[in-house]
Amino acid sequence: MDRRRIILIVFCILMVTGALISALNRQRASEEPAHRRTDIPTSHFTPRQRPVSAHNPARAYSDAIANAIDKVMPSVVVIRTQNLTLKRERVALDPFGIYQGYRNIEEHNKGEGSGVIIDEVGHVLTSWHVIENAVGGEVVLNDGTRMSAVVVGHDVATDLAVLKIKDAGSDCPAVEFGDSDRVRVGEVAIAIGSPFSLQRTATVGYVSSKGRKVDILPYEDFIQTDAAINEGNSGGPLVDVDGRMIGINTAKKTDDQQKGVGIAFAVPSNLAMVVAKSIIETGKHEWPWIGVTFKNKDQVYRDEMYGGTGAYIDQVWNDTPASRAELVPGTSVLAVDGRKVESVEDIERIIFSKSVGDTVRFTLEYEEGQFDVELPLEKFPGSLFN
């Protein structure tokens, strides 16, 4: 027998032996219980994870944002409404349809917005357009509790309204107020609300500008922010990194709604809380005034003749605090309550941040020099903003 034949015989024997062993193993496996557990070998893999730095500025920033949201969230509510609108429909007035007229058809629609609890007894501040035309609705607290609420009053000029939660008790989680006058452009701003019915949503951005006027409300002194605000956010709070409310989200303006890129606006908290206080006490907001209209100075006169002051008295109305103090048109206004005046908007901002019955101090410039005069604020006799 030659060597090649011997190698072939050995190879065949090995192949047959391997096949027999494989068949025996499959038979044993089929005879074992199906629930038998197979031991998994212990892995020796250890994820590489370095200790967190105690001086990580990004972590500190992230924690500050999260802490602010945790602080404010219990004060934020969802406002769900049933809205009634009238739709005008053309109808035939005779069987032949020759004469036609119109009739109003009632339409019931659901609406949703946000609000924030501003005191321990359950007053909720929101946007007026959230509850306008509402014939019913409810307030949903942060923990999901649903409660009925009644409308206390509203102010069209600032698009603000106040609700009162029924059976709220005296320990509601009221928001902490910030000083919107001290807010600086560039500060972090956090918008909280329920956009597109997504409750407890927070978006983060920055204060983009202050004192904005965009012609969507009768009176505007908006805080502008790039924090994302969408449908359902209106009425919710804009807060700072300390969890204090600095504004009430009221509107969003975009060049192209389809692009989803926009800038948002909020009513400053100082103005919003004055309006809310007035509504709670009287059912409406009483706008204060001293009986004067103001005008901005032309830049040339401002720089060359009036030492940089930006506004002057244009008209004085009879039987008002201003007329009784003998103020005269043409007088330069240097400061109000110690704050330098750059424009008419500065004067309005200070006056409108006060309530009827408060006093305001004007620093005026006459030919004889500078004089201070303190004037009481009275209720404007009529509608200040049409």
Which residues does the annotation mark as catalytic?
129, 159, 234
Nearest CA among 263, 198, 281, 206 for reference residue 236: 198
Mode of pairing for the β-strands spanning 332-336 and 311-316: antiparallel
What is the separation, in whole angstroms, between the first and last Cα of the chain?
Answer: 119
Strands 244-253 and 288-289: unpaired
CA-nearest of 265, 267, 266, 285 to 275 is 285
Residues 242, 217 contacting (CB under 8 angstroms): no
Euclidean distance between CA atoms 380 and 160, whole angstroms: 19
287 burial (CB, 10 Å; 0-12 / 13-18 / 19+) is: buried
* Residue showing tokens 């035939």: 92
Residue 255 token pair = 């060049």
Residue 113: exposed, middle, or buried by beta-carbon count in 10 A (0-12, 13-18, 19+)? Answer: buried
Longest CA–CA separation in the chain, Å: 138
- In whole angstroms, what is the distance from residue 118 CA to residue 245 CA? 10
Cα(337)–Cα(352) distance, rounded to whole angstroms?
Answer: 13
How far is residue 9 from each of residues 17, 22, 172, measured CA to CA in Å? 12, 20, 93
What does the alpha-carbon distance between residue 266 and residue 271 come to, in Å, rounded to a whole number?
11
> Among candidates 336, 255, 247, which has minimal Cα distance to 288?
336
Token pair 């005034």: residue: 289
Categorise residue 30: left if φ over 0, alpha if ψ from -120 to 50, beta otherwise. Answer: alpha
